[in-house]
Structure 1
Amino acid sequence: MKSYPELLQIVNTYHELGGTIAAAQFLIQEYGLENPNFKGFELREKAKPEFILMTTEGAFGEPQIIRIPENTFEYPLHLMLNLLMHEMIHVSQKTQENWIEDKNEREWQAYYEMLFHKKFPQIPELPDFHKRFFAKKALEYCNRMSESSELQLKYANQKLETDNLLSLLEAKIK
């Protein structure tokens, strides 16, 4: 794999040439995020710093499209890599083999991976302020699962890990 500065230079070159989709495709290949259920990228409206929306779209069991903002690479690369990974997890969750119907479970799994990088350790870590934000989002989805349900029990250890991370991050702020 290329060094992070080399990757950043390549992505910036794509961005300057209007190649947002090419840059995103390059990154999922470079970081080993490919999935046979992935159909491709499409552009959506520009993101704003306080709201960067990427979505995975398509029927379960069918190839998925990821919509990314046309200005995706105006933002920090480590954040965009984590968001692309999040969406590629959703692509995997919508395959026949990994079918996860419950939206709360899908989001929980994707946010958890953004925090701990268990499946994709090659993805760069996020800074603490992003981890804090995504830990809160993960716990939001975990708490939406029915109280003491099979799903909450299934993810109890991961929830504890996330709670501990959030406590540590909150303590750093004080």
Structure 2
Amino acid sequence: MNFEQINLHLEAYKEHNQILDAARFLIHSFDLEHENFAGFGFREELSPTSMLLTAEGVLGGPQTVMIPKNLFDFDLSLVLNMIAHEMLHVRQKAPGQVIEDKNEREFQAYSEMLFHKVFPRIPELSDHYKKFFGGQALEYYRRMGEGSELQKKYEAQKSEVEHLINSLP
């Protein structure tokens, strides 16, 4: 199914106010599913121009991805990247693969939005969003602690993020 067909499906879901079904359709269509995923739920909308998604649940337990009802009022590439970010958190919090450090989880998730190594079917973001989310990745890298073991672990990936940001117009 191509991007245009997916958009048509999403419009049909939206017309019938089936937002949770539309989100499930996307994770199936873009191979984002994981056994630690408990489903979608609704969270409060921030505004017509901004959105927040979260993966909620205890570390090592099933995760529910909370989405705003106006999720599909935004650009589909952005929506897919935001959902992929949360679905990476679902994996990071799964039994046997828990990543304890929030800074590490966020650095990995923001990096995924830039390079799509875990979810290769997710479309690229605009340069504007690459810069923004790249900045977020670098902020979480900074929060790992200057010269820490975590920073050393992600040094090469941090360089990739910086190179990408510096190459953008």
TM-score when normalising by structure 2: 0.97
The equivalent of 2:119 in structure 1 is: 120
**Residue 141 in 1 paired to residue 140 in 2?**
yes
After superposition, the C-alpha distances for 1:39-76 in whole angstroms (9 at most, x for unaligned) are 01001122425431000100111111010001100001
Q: Indicate conservation of the 8 Å contact 1:47/1:71, yes or no.
A: no
> How far, CA to CA, are the matches of 2:157 and 2:118 in structure 1?
14
> How far, CA to CA, are the matches of 1:128 and 1:159 in structure 2?
18
> How far, CA to CA, are the matches of 1:122 and 1:97 in structure 2?
26
The equivalent of 1:11 in structure 2 is: 10
> How far, CA to CA, are the matches of 2:29 and 2:139 in structure 1?
31
Give 5+ residue unaligned stretches, structure 1: none
**Aligned pairs (5 A) from 1:1-174:** 2-169=1-168, 172=169
> How far, CA to CA, are the matches of 2:142 and 2:50 in structure 1?
23
> How far, CA to CA, are the matches of 2:47 and 2:124 in structure 1?
22
Q: Secondary structure at the match of 1:84?
A: helix
Offset at 1:96? 1.8
Q: Return structure 1 stretches of 4+ with deviation > 3 angstroms.
A: none
Offset at 1:109? 0.3
Change (3 A) 1:108 1:18: same
Aligned residues: 169
> How far, CA to CA, are the matches of 2:15 and 2:129 in structure 1?
26
Aligned residues with identical type, % of pairs = 49
Q: Indicate conservation of the 8 Å contact 2:107/2:138, yes or no.
A: yes
Q: Indicate conservation of the 8 Å contact 1:21/1:41, yes or no.
A: yes
TM-score when normalising by structure 1: 0.94
Once the two structures are overlaid, the 10-residue window that deviates more, 134-143 or 95-104, is 95-104
